[in-house]
Structure 1
Amino acid sequence: MKSTLSLLAFLLLCVNALAQTFTLSGTVKDNTGQPIPFATVVIKNTSKGSPANSDGQYTLTLPTGNYDLLFKAIGYRQETRQISLKANQTIDIQLQPEAYQLQNVVVKAGAEDPAYGIIRKAIRKRKTYQNEVKSYTCDTYIKGLQRLLAAPKKFMGRNVDDFAKQMGLDSNRKGILYLSESESKLSYLRPNQYHEEMVSSKVSGSNRAFSFNRASDLSVNFYDNLQNWEGLSNRPLVSPIADNALSFYNYKYMGETIENGETINRIQVTPKRRYEPAFEGYIYIIEDSWRIHSIDVFLTKSSGINLLDTITVKQQFIPVEKQAWMPSSVKFEFRGGFFGFKFGGYYVAVYKNYNIDPPFNKKTFAEVMKVTAGVNKKDSTYWQQARPIPLTDEEKTDYQKKAVLAQKRESKPYLDSLDRKFNKVSVPRFLLSGINIRNRYQKTYFSTQGVLGSMLYNTVEGFAINYGATYTRQIDSLNNKYLRLGGRIRYGFSNHLLHGSVNAVIPVKSFTIGVNVGSDVVDLNNMEPLTPSISTFSSLFYRNNFQKLYDKHFAAISVSHRLAGGLTATASAEYADRRWLDNTSFYSFFYRDRQYTSNNPFVPAMEGVPLFERNQSFKIGARLSYNFSNRYVTYPTGRYYLPSEYPTLTLNYTKGLKNVLGSDVDFDLLSASLTKQDISLGLYGKLSFYVGAGKFLNNNRLYYIDYKHFLGTQTRVFDNSVNSFLLLDFYRNSTPNQYAEGHIEQNFGGIVLSKIPLIRKLKLQELVQVNYLHTPALKNYTEVGLGVRYLNFTFMYGRTLNGGGRESSAFRFGVKL
């Protein structure tokens, strides 16, 4: 028995010895003694390794054994160290600048630079390496840091110092705004499917938040012709080895060097023309195989990027299984500023433990991202062992300082103190911004409109107030569900009519129930093409009362449910008592000699002619919507479906039921639409479209307000939704029969205007629109529009090509918030 126990003890000691790990650490510096930020330390012939931090410090945790270590950095000569790891070791490394030799290269005057021959070979091999790996899995580590470099003392009348204190910045309003780390298991399936499962997450200053880091967001593949960086650039960026790269880049051969038996060519790339969507910097190409060894490029404002002044991309590749080369790390570093604020930072991703071409079930990739509840609960001991990039002293201080702030921020006394500060009620707030009362601890929020903002004018009510309030309460924190209640009171000072309504949005399991009961003054066009504020301005300043209104007392209910993936269904029912209203006010600031039109759009010169008699309606509706996708992300708060890359198909059916609750209507309307916005067309911009058609299967009895209406425009300001018209009358072309409409918008993203001096600095995007409508009465109505978009502002010139005998043209202005 004793001998058995001794044997077991011996085996346990052996297992423990074999499993023992040690730490290898040190600093990577250049030949002047300065640290090399994010230099790479990797075990030879593997994907195991780590970059150093921004101070050049690295840490590797490895089992006992012998290793060949490679110390690398773009632009520096690789160093190799053979070590026998039996205890914790410190190895400091000094890297020499890489000496790229111009061997056997003679460039005659007027001759082509040798770089062009290398790039052509790389371009010919581009598709081979783009499709070299069908699938893979790997472990990823991502670290993100955003720093405020400068800030004004005040911004829009508010003291920035208060914000700085809350964010843990120093007295000069400088410091780390955001610091996070995360680990994930990443799976990839060609051509562009990702599944990522977050293993751990740490956010400085919050014990509950999850990192925004996502490996697929940092994925950059220069074997793709174009890099689509949404939000950062209006146009896709051209890769230095794209099929058409020679039209965008100049190349210069900078020499070659030998690394691990491979000849590496260094090629300088510069845009042929300023303000092209092209990179600048260096690309390193391996001789004979003509694959990318590494990338060190940057973009500036002249490349057309938004928000940022500069962004640098550094990517390194390593050989893994089957001689496939995969990214070992990628780093994005950026700087920018606006309104006196200056900021900078970086995101770095480390990839290791690749498994090339594993079998996958395609259903796996329906879930793009998975974050479970425990990933942000890892302690400091875990992170000390897990993080491949050591923290700098500044980052350590930030974690420690903001951990104290996080405990304070999440406490009830602190949250109550914030509420007392921001929940103050004052006369200016009551009039301008409204009352806002928040209970952060109980997660409730009550708000009202500002009184002045709720004032309006129309010729039906005269000056009126439409005052609303909302109440929100989180009722399910796990699934992020909220109960929402609202109410509204409306009074016209000219017609002396009081209206009011209450509404609620109630989540019940996987269903969402909506209820709305009360009375209101409603637009004749249920598409609501004209906002109350634009109608008020048009009436008071130009004496144009385009908006036409009626009185509605109603009770409505709807139930929505996601049936599966991108398929959602909604059922609804509404009872309404509808009454015609006349004009009662004829006031304006200007143009007093101009006559207002009547509230009947079909007899504008005759007051007191009702468009319809008082009636009651009971309608039921069903709606199915499918976006041909089931992609989603999973968080501890629930599942969230992502926008689809495919068009959305919608089917609608509405039935008016006669004699139900005294209803007067009897009709059936069936309609369908197909729409998609921002379809990428590469360098030619983005395409958006909307196609819709419908028919009244039965129109035995319906009123004008039951017609099919369209999103027209008669004012200078227009709703720049994809299904809006530029010049169509708000009311006169609605139909009780069949219809077909189509809209197409091409956004060229600055392909022409970016080449014009001075104007290109505005980063304007050229727009072309074509809108079409067919009804039995209108026949074929067509209009075209030409314009530009600046940020969220759109300026268009529209002209009808076939306006049903009413050709016209006008300028339009739109804002999309």
Structure 2
Amino acid sequence: HYNLSPKTSININPTFTQVYYNTVEGFNVNVIARLRHRYDSLRQSLEFTPTLRYGFSSRDFYIKGRLSHRFNNAKTFRNRFIYLDGGNFVEQFNPEEPIHPHINTLSALLFRRDYLKMYEKLYVKPGFEYQWSPFLKFSSTLEWARRSQVYNHADYSLFYHDSRLFSPSLPQNKELPDTGFPQHEALTWQANISYRPGGKYRVQNGRKIPLLENSPEFLFTYRKGIPDIFSSDVNYEQVQLGINHGLSFGVRGRLEYELRGGTFLNAKQMYFMDYQHFDGNRTILSSLRPAGGFRLLDYYAYSTNNAYFSGHTHFTFRKFLFTHIPEVRVTGIKENIFFNYLKTSNSPHYYELGYSLDNVFRVLRLEAATSFENGKYKEFGFRIGIATILRFNSAD
């Protein structure tokens, strides 16, 4: 961190924390910087964030950047954020990026399993977010991209070299047997609305604090692939509704749930990265969102361009099984149960049941989960995650 002036600073992430491995690029290094200028205190700022990336096996150099302006009004909570993204970079087929590069690096090197499926994207993407209040938000983006397939250039792993083969950088999907694609252009518009009805505040030391637990958050998303403009080859429409809610109950109990449902009104021309994807997991490490990710689901097997519904619920109890024992309870350990569900037009009824010990050694969450398809047992697995209390504190 360097202060160039009282209102201008630059941050450069340590390069050694941004070294990854995948079969497309081999070892790759990323350099991320942030130049920020504050106009007045913390309310208004201008930022430029460039990212440089080089793959040693592919010998490909990538660069992208974001120029953004933020204005926050602490009194009215009306905040504005506008930005311009652009560059030439690699991106996961699921834009939510469920596979962290550090986790994939360990999986590829130690177990010869590379789950990070990517493609190359040359793009420009303006967008904005407007918060009318803590209970009503709107955002929109418009992206033009030239998208290209990438290929493996590395075959190194520490173990299993003779017994396992790396797969191409193409996901496997039940609906689309061949997820490969030619180079093409895509113009995509997306709009999102978030609304919490009946929002209330409490006043503490003369400061208004929104009470976000009083009502659920309702979400609406519309996504359109616009054909023929700027040589765009995509033509599709997607709508999605969602609900997020987290509330406390009883004595230090908590319930969180996320529901999503949507469909494609039109799927005339689209490629696999345009499908609806779900937050799967095939590694030992669990999602940072206990009520938002699957534990055992394949990353792309049930991605779809048809109708779909997914649901996640996560219960935290002060007393459940082991926590009835006072000696266990005083350590801060909590017990959770969770249920995850997914159904698309072409998939079986997929669901997961799980149990976890939370806040183990004050930092860990140990999970056991079982998955089923159409009521038949499919798989059992263990997962390790970060204690939910750390996630809540970091969010605050």
Q: TM-score, normalised to structure 1's length?
A: 0.44
Partner of 1:531: 100
1:801 aligns with 2:365: no
Partner of 1:713: 281
Q: 1:714/1:472 Cα in 2 relative to 1: closer, same or farther (>3 Å)? A: same
Distance 1:498 1:570 in 2: 31
Aligned-residue offset at 1:671: 0.2
Distance 2:316 2:239 in 1: 32
Partner of 1:459: 23
Retained in 2: the 8 A contact 1:628–1:644?
no
Partner of 2:169: 599
Distance 1:798 1:565 in 2: 35
Partner of 1:726: 295
Retained in 2: the 8 A contact 1:801–1:807?
yes
Partner of 1:665: 234
Distance 1:620 1:779 in 2: 31
After TM superposition, list the pairs within 5 Å mapping 1:660-809 onto structure 2: 660-677=229-246, 679-683=247-251, 685-721=253-289, 722-756=291-325, 758-790=327-359, 791-802=362-373, 807-809=378-380
1:445 aligns with 2:14: no
Which has the larger Rg?
Answer: 1
Retained in 1: the 8 A contact 2:322–2:328?
yes
Partner of 2:80: 511
Retained in 2: the 8 A contact 1:686–1:746?
yes
Partner of 1:654: 223
Q: Deviations over 1:461-487 (max 9, x none)?
A: 11111111011221122x622222100
Q: 1:555/1:627 Cα in 2 relative to 1: closer, same or farther (>3 Å)? A: same
Retained in 2: the 8 A contact 1:580–1:610?
no
SS of equivalent residue, structure 1 residue 539:
helix
After TM superposition, list the pairs within 5 Å mapping 1:481-500 onto structure 2: 481-500=44-63
Q: 1:558/1:469 Cα in 2 relative to 1: closer, same or farther (>3 Å)? A: same
After TM superposition, list the pairs within 5 Å mapping 1:613-624 onto structure 2: 613-624=182-193
Distance 1:473 1:767 in 2: 43
Distance 2:287 2:259 in 1: 17
Q: 1:497/1:467 Cα in 2 relative to 1: closer, same or farther (>3 Å)? A: same
Partner of 1:469: 33
Retained in 1: the 8 A contact 2:348–2:374?
no
Aligned-partner residue type, residue 690 of structure 1:
E
Distance 2:322 2:46 in 1: 48
Partner of 1:547: 116
Distance 2:124 2:349 in 1: 38
Retained in 1: the 8 A contact 2:192–2:219?
yes
Q: Deviations over 1:587-612 (max 9, x none)?
A: 01222222212222329xxxxx8622
Q: 1:549/1:680 Cα in 2 relative to 1: closer, same or farther (>3 Å)? A: same
Partner of 1:572: 141
Q: Deviations over 1:784-817 (max 9, x none)?
A: 1111111442211010122687701100111246
Partner of 1:264: none
Retained in 2: the 8 A contact 1:750–1:763?
no
SS of equivalent residue, structure 1 residue 500:
strand
Distance 1:804 1:534 in 2: 31
Q: 1:676/1:713 Cα in 2 relative to 1: closer, same or farther (>3 Å)? A: same
- Relative to its length, the structure with more helix (as a share) is 1
SS of equivalent residue, structure 1 residue 683:
coil
Aligned-partner residue type, residue 265 of structure 2:
L
Partner of 2:64: 501
SS of equivalent residue, structure 1 residue 653:
strand
Q: Deviations over 1:55-86 (max 9, x none)?
A: xxxxxxxxxxxxxxxxxxxxxxxxxxxxxxxx
Aligned-residue offset at 1:502: 1.1
Aligned-partner residue type, residue 152 of structure 2:
N
Retained in 2: the 8 A contact 1:650–1:673?
yes
Aligned-residue offset at 1:632: 5.2
Q: Deviations over 1:224-282 (max 9, x none)?
A: xxxxxxxxxxxxxxxxxxxxxxxxxxxxxxxxxxxxxxxxxxxxxxxxxxxxxxxxxxx
Partner of 2:384: 813
Retained in 1: the 8 A contact 2:43–2:71?
no
Partner of 1:196: none
Q: TM-score, normalised to structure 2's length?
A: 0.88
Distance 1:704 1:811 in 2: 30
Retained in 1: the 8 A contact 2:224–2:237?
yes
Q: Deviations over 1:24-53 (max 9, x none)?
A: xxxxxxxxxxxxxxxxxxxxxxxxxxxxxx
Gap regions ≥5 residues in structure 2: 73-78
Aligned-partner residue type, residue 683 of structure 1:
V
Aligned-partner residue type, residue 260 of structure 2:
G
Retained in 1: the 8 A contact 2:34–2:49?
yes
Aligned-partner residue type, residue 621 of structure 1:
Q
Aligned-residue offset at 1:438: 2.7
Aligned-residue offset at 1:634: 9.2
Aligned-partner residue type, residue 499 of structure 1:
Y
Distance 1:656 1:803 in 2: 33
2:155 to 558, 577, 586: 586
Aligned-residue offset at 1:754: 3.2
Aligned-residue offset at 1:719: 1.1
Aligned-residue offset at 1:575: 0.5
Aligned-residue offset at 1:542: 1.2
Task: Name the % identity.
Answer: 27
Distance 1:804 1:567 in 2: 39
Distance 2:71 2:253 in 1: 42
Q: 1:482/1:803 Cα in 2 relative to 1: closer, same or farther (>3 Å)? A: farther
Distance 1:763 1:733 in 2: 38
Aligned-residue offset at 1:647: 0.9
Q: Deviations over 1:606-642 (max 9, x none)?
A: xxx862221110011111101224445899xx98755
Distance 1:447 1:495 in 2: 28
Q: 1:641/1:683 Cα in 2 relative to 1: closer, same or farther (>3 Å)? A: closer
SS of equivalent residue, structure 2 residue 230:
coil
Retained in 2: the 8 A contact 1:458–1:545?
yes
Distance 2:134 2:281 in 1: 36
Aligned-residue offset at 1:691: 0.8
Q: 1:559/1:684 Cα in 2 relative to 1: closer, same or farther (>3 Å)? A: closer
SS of equivalent residue, structure 1 residue 712:
coil
Retained in 1: the 8 A contact 2:172–2:179?
no
Retained in 2: the 8 A contact 1:778–1:804?
no
Aligned-residue offset at 1:520: 1.1
Distance 1:599 1:653 in 2: 28
Retained in 1: the 8 A contact 2:238–2:263?
yes
Q: 1:561/1:797 Cα in 2 relative to 1: closer, same or farther (>3 Å)? A: same
Partner of 1:97: none
After TM superposition, list the pairs within 5 Å mapping 1:48-63 onto structure 2: none
Aligned-residue RMSD, C-alpha: 2.4
Partner of 2:75: none
Distance 2:208 2:273 in 1: 39
Q: Deviations over 1:317-368 (max 9, x none)?
A: xxxxxxxxxxxxxxxxxxxxxxxxxxxxxxxxxxxxxxxxxxxxxxxxxxxx
Aligned-partner residue type, residue 725 of structure 1:
F
Q: 1:481/1:642 Cα in 2 relative to 1: closer, same or farther (>3 Å)? A: farther
Distance 1:476 1:631 in 2: 29
Q: 1:601/1:560 Cα in 2 relative to 1: closer, same or farther (>3 Å)? A: closer
Partner of 1:128: none
How many correspondences in the alignment? 373
Answer 1 or 2: higher relative contact order, Cα 8 Å, separation at least 6. 2
